Structure 1
């Protein structure tokens, strides 16, 4: 893969917290990461889950280049968040998806009108879905909160809201300018987002997705299914980051996938 530039990339983001903690400073870099030395690191942001007891960093995580993401629906604007992807990659095209009105308005303010924001949730098929609102907004999901989500993170459902669902392929029918990254953080709905992006994925260089090891939302796909889908789609798993552990058991992690290069 060509080293990623700060001047010619596309950012696409999918639903929930936009910033993740940077890898540990003690993590060793691997030789094949050398071309990305010039890229800035993502600013540190205290994701709500990291403030819970028994949440520890994954010491096996590998450092990876910080590429601006294509986000389908995000919830930015935490008062301690130092910026947006456009602050780090000013010439990147940022495409976001956020179905909830309040977070969407905040997103527009944070990005200062410089992001393309879709008022829908990404999914496998177009239609309408019920957003299960959580007492902590960034944990709201198109899937019902499960017992373990409520127990581990101390939250409940506070209501429901009907939201439109669209395929990423339909929202972005033309190939994005390369290189492009798709970042997915959709509270258990990750596999449905990927199933709705089968035409888009061949033009995406990297996918950064939050995945669960245990069922936090009712009926969600776990990390094995997500890994299998992306490997079949032509990606390799390149690293795991921000692993959250509860009582000695891994709960969630961010997974980085890179598109395989032809030999």
Structure 2
């Protein structure tokens, strides 16, 4: 049994060498873009969007297409991605502010861990993940010393508060939310990545997200971009849509 277990582990590491990569979005289920378009069709129109974990700016580009009048605050700690962000947001750059920081519960400095997957053929997927947290599979490929700021402080410094808040933080969502209490008072819609695997050490759990957002006056609106691990179909995670309980998107209380 010991030999077979080691062989199975070696096969798994060969096929899936990096943290939480090679996951597949379940076809036929709603995407984030689908649901934002649906919200727009119901009259939802945010004036300010905060994109925390902006990566290369691709999501910001999609959001601009849906809400062309919105101003976007892109928050990304990895300085190696800033050129790509500028490229993806160049057509609407006058509506974009880039904040060079990670988000957390307190201001300070931390190490941003970066895992690379060189087997991927393009620069987007070659970065398997980056997180302020450690990973159970071992040391990151490399790390960067980055500033950490509270979302409330960023909003105050930027002179605007989010109507739509998106968090894609690879397990570090709860500390970021604890630093966004005032921002959440203003915000109507939150899109927050959740994970079901214990890959990142001390990662935020779905239950913690549900509990915190309930305390802040939000209700679960949808679950989108659900992903499964290919070799055993275990649920990896997806994105929660939370809306304020008094939002117009929740104005109808029953089925009909």
**TM-score scaled by length of structure 2:** 0.70
CA contact (8 A) 2:104 2:176 kept: yes
- Give the equivalent residue in structure 1 for 2:16: none
Residues 26-67 of structure 1: per-residue CA shift (max 9 Å, x gap): xxxxxxxxxxxxxxxxxxxxxxx9983665347598963336
- Find the counterpart in structure 1 of residue 36 from structure 2: 65
Partner of 2:103: 122
- Residue 145 of structure 1 is matched in structure 2 by 135
1:49-89 per-position Cα deviation (integer Å, ceiling 9, x unaligned) = 998366534759896333664202311266xx894433432
Over alpha carbons, which structure has the higher Rg?
2
Summarize the alignment of residues 114-263 of structure 1 with structure 2, pairs less than 5 Å apart: 114=94, 115-135=96-116, 136-137=126-127, 139-147=129-137, 157-173=140-156, 176=161, 180-246=163-229, 247-261=232-246
Distance in 1 separating the partners of 2:186 and 2:166: 14
- Seen in structure 2, the aligned counterparts of structure 1 residues 82 and 239 have a Cα distance that, compared at 3 Å, is closer
Checking the alignment, whether the CA contact within 8 Å between 1:58 and 1:241 is kept in structure 2 is: no
Work out whether residues 58 and 242 of structure 1, in 8 Å CA contact, stay in contact via their aligned partners in 2.
no
Deviations along 1:176-220, one digit per CA (max 9) or x if unpaired, are 37xx11011011111111111001101000000110112121111
Please say if residues 50 and 75 of structure 2, whose CA atoms lie closer than 8 Å, have aligned partners that are also in contact.
no
Structure-2 separation of matches of 1:171 and 1:105: 21
Which residue of structure 2 lines up, in the alignment, with residue 94 of structure 1?
72
Q: For residues 76 and 251 of structure 1, what CA distance do their matches in structure 2 show?
A: 22
CA distance in 2 between counterparts of 1:207 and 1:82 reads: 14
Report the TM-score, using the length of structure 1 for normalisation. Answer: 0.69
- Paired residue secondary structure (1:139): strand
- Greater per-residue helix proportion: 2
RMSD: 3.1
Instruction: Give 1:90 deviation, angstroms.
Output: 2.4
Aligned equivalents of 1:216 and 1:57: distance in 2? 24
How far apart, CA to CA, are the structure 1 residues paired with 2:27 and 2:74?
A: 28
Question: Could you tell me whether the CA contact under 8 Å between 1:175 and 1:203 is conserved in 2?
Answer: no
**Unpaired segments of 5 or more residues in structure 1?**
1-48, 151-155
